[in-house]
Structure 1
């Protein structure tokens, strides 16, 4: 049995009114979060792994590609979607300040001056000034509940922003390797066109000498046209991969990335995946969902306390005079101090319905949290299973590609000696091409799945011990 403990910062002002409320009123609502939500049966280890080494940060560094690091920095600064998330955090921060302001008295100043003419033709001047203050006593803790909800919503937004940062970096890295894979496949298609053209030249030359049959010429021409079609399709795929990467970087998608020769790294080492319980407190998405549960709980408390009377104090001081310069002379200064009690008497069940809606939203958010939690576990389990499968597929495909290359060379040599038909050559070439393209795709799938696993585990792409690595987040949050 694992218990969930989340730390969150929020301030509740211990005012005299709050102390009185605690002493005089004992029916204030407590937390309504389901106790079963705070504990869950979580296995000690992942299903296909017994390693318990804690998850390490800075997973981006394992690729050792400086240009990729520069692109990640560019995306964190310029990606429009991430900047929108940063503004969401800033908006909720201001709403938190609004909730804090409710604990302070309101102070309003009104200054009026006018000139009027009566029916008798008498012209008179009138000037007045009034300073009014009002303050609501938080006797039931209603304002504290509203402040707590605003603070938890702010913390949820910050955690969600951090999750979006990690997701953006993962998408950039994945798109980067997709772009490299598309370029490698494009080079492979270009080589296939070149080989098909060379084969056609050889076969046509043999046909003119009476060595090869006309069928072989038609087959070789068909093979060349097929490869040209595949090349055109791959060119479009490569351009689209470039534009996808550019959009993540916040650039205009003009497909103008540099055309340098890059290769896909092969990651054969295992990564520390820790225990299932680790991601509960480390994964930002789960933290955000938990904060939202607590925020809904505070919202339910606020809705419940809305049904209680409100006690407010009001004080004012005013003065009036015929001339503006005579104001505050003391001759006609007036003041007042009032206390008021406002209680809802009849609203046809409106407040009760509002409280019930808040309770149902809390229950709904609890289920959202559980769904997010088990989806997080599922993502890790699936990524672990997929990685083991991809490693086996890579080794088998690598052996198949080596055999296919040898078979292609041997088939063409035997065809030139008249031992096999050209159909055999085409089949050998097709197998070789399929194995080569599959090898590139599996390497890319291994990289993509590794990135998915890092994000699913909640591992950060930066070195969390280095404060400089968090500079990008500070730029977006505090700009």
Structure 2
């Protein structure tokens, strides 16, 4: 009677010890404190889930389709999802009985020179009772890893689409800069012709000729460098779409000016919308399940086994129905001494869970910061564009006036070169800011976690909302 009471008390203690093995509950995310709205001035409203449709250029959609089909890193992530699913099947199989058909044959020789044979054919069944939920926790961990892998795949799709668009506009920006440099080179050539003509007439000095020739050589070098930059950007785009980077992709479109704004939602919605954050959350839950499994490894295991078959001294006895027999066994095993192995594994699982929790919270803060930065950067870029636009107009007037005054002998050629450089820099800056606005807008969509939902557009435009 006393032994029975001890066993009951022991089982009750073990069961209670298995109840509170999960440290991350379903209310964890809801308890994360987030601000009610973004801190920087922004446009209110729900986040767009079809932002790619706002770029109506057919080439963009064709390139996105090719990238989603052919990009090697995305295909690798797809394989990793399948690998996670196979690990789930492996882990889940432990919850099911095993069925094995075995055929054993042996022949022995005794010390008295007697020979004997044995032949057995049996069907064996094995099953481990998941009394503490240990096997269920292992399957739960594997299932969460599958879900995390799927969300990671979704995030890589978003990153890839954003990368294709950013690189496509970068090529357009590079070609626009190349055309500007070419026009600048033609102006410098005209200036050199005028100055050399004036030098032959005794109107200009040799110094002016040398300065004009130096400027011509500098512009030719810049044009060659820009051509190399465009080729490099085209090859980067070709790599993203999964083709050989030979720099032959033809891109022809205008660089638009973004003047619109996009709704950015509220911070709390970002946690359940952005695939990268969802993947990180599943990783955290998987670590929590791993801790529960490590904890329950320290409790007894109960196994059942059954055997049904026949055997005898002759081979035909193994297939004889008259020799059929069965056996049913049960076993219980509990760890008594393992030099702290299981305790250390549980402690390790706890530290890994804590590290994963801090990593998840840090990922959240990074995601919030990224959105805040992109919102503020867009405002700053739009202000920079307007100021640079005014500077460009003034620089063009100064360039024209300085050359006229130089021809009248009122200013030196150095003044002309300085005015021309300022005008060129202002025009180049306007092109760069346009591209930066587009890049920032795409990265804002990416930071907000909205889906691109690719569809074929009807109208042709380069605006992205």
- TM-score (norm: length of structure 2): 0.90
**Per-residue Cα deviation, 1:212-271 (whole angstroms, up to 9, x for no partner):** 21111001001001111111221221111111111111111111111x532212111010
8 Å CA contact 1:300–1:355 kept in 2: the answer is yes
Post-superposition CA distance 1:327-346 (Å, at most 9, x none): 32123223211000011110
Instruction: Report if the CA contact (8 A) 2:42-2:263 is conserved.
Output: no
On the 8 A contact 2:310/2:317 being kept in 1, the answer is no
Q: Does 1:251 align with 2:243?
A: yes
- 1:68: Cα distance to partner? 0.7
Residue aligning to 1:384? 375
Select which of 289, 295, 299 maps to 1:298. 289
The unaligned stretches of length 5 or more in structure 2 are 1-10, 458-465
Deviation at 1:321, TM superposition (A): 4.2
Q: Which secondary structure state, in structure 1, belongs to the residue aligned with residue 271 of structure 2?
A: helix
How far apart are the structure 1 equivalents of 2:357 and 2:112? 73
Any residues of structure 2 matched to 1:12-411 within 5 Å, and which? 25-30=15-20, 31-33=22-24, 38-49=30-41, 51-113=43-105, 127-258=119-250, 260-321=251-312, 324-411=315-402
Pick which of 445-454 and 418-427 moved more.
418-427
Please list, as runs of the form range in 1=range in 2, the aligned pairs for 1:417-428 lying within 5 A after superposition: 417-428=408-419
Structure 2: distance between partners of 1:23 and 1:132 = 34
Provide Cα deviations, 1:413-432, integer angstroms capped at 9, x if missing partner.
33223332211211111011
Measure, in 1, the Cα distance between the counterparts of 2:393 and 2:141: 62
- CA RMSD, 1 decimal: 2.4
**Residue deviations 1:5-58 (CA, integer Å, cap 9, x gap):** xxxxxxxxxxxxxxxx99993331432128766512211111123643010111
Residues 285-344 of structure 1: per-residue CA shift (max 9 Å, x gap): 111111111111111111010000000001112322455455321232232110000111
- Structure 1 residue runs of 5 or longer lacking an equivalent are 1-20, 470-479
Tell me: CA distance 1:335–1:201, structure 2 relative to 1, closer, same or farther (3 Å). same
User: For 1:391 and 1:60, how far apart are their aligned partners in 2?
Assistant: 22
How many residue pairs get aligned? The number is 445
CA distance in structure 1 between the aligned counterparts of 2:389 and 2:42, rounded to whole angstroms: 28
Is residue 416 of structure 1 aligned with residue 407 of structure 2? Answer: yes
Q: Contact between 1:46 and 1:275, CA under 8 Å: does it hold in 2?
A: yes
Structure 1 contact 37–366 (Cα < 8 Å) conserved: no
> Aligned partners of 2:258 and 2:73: how far apart in 1?
30
Q: How far did 1:112 drift? A: 3.7
Determine helix, strand or coil for the equivalent of 1:313: strand
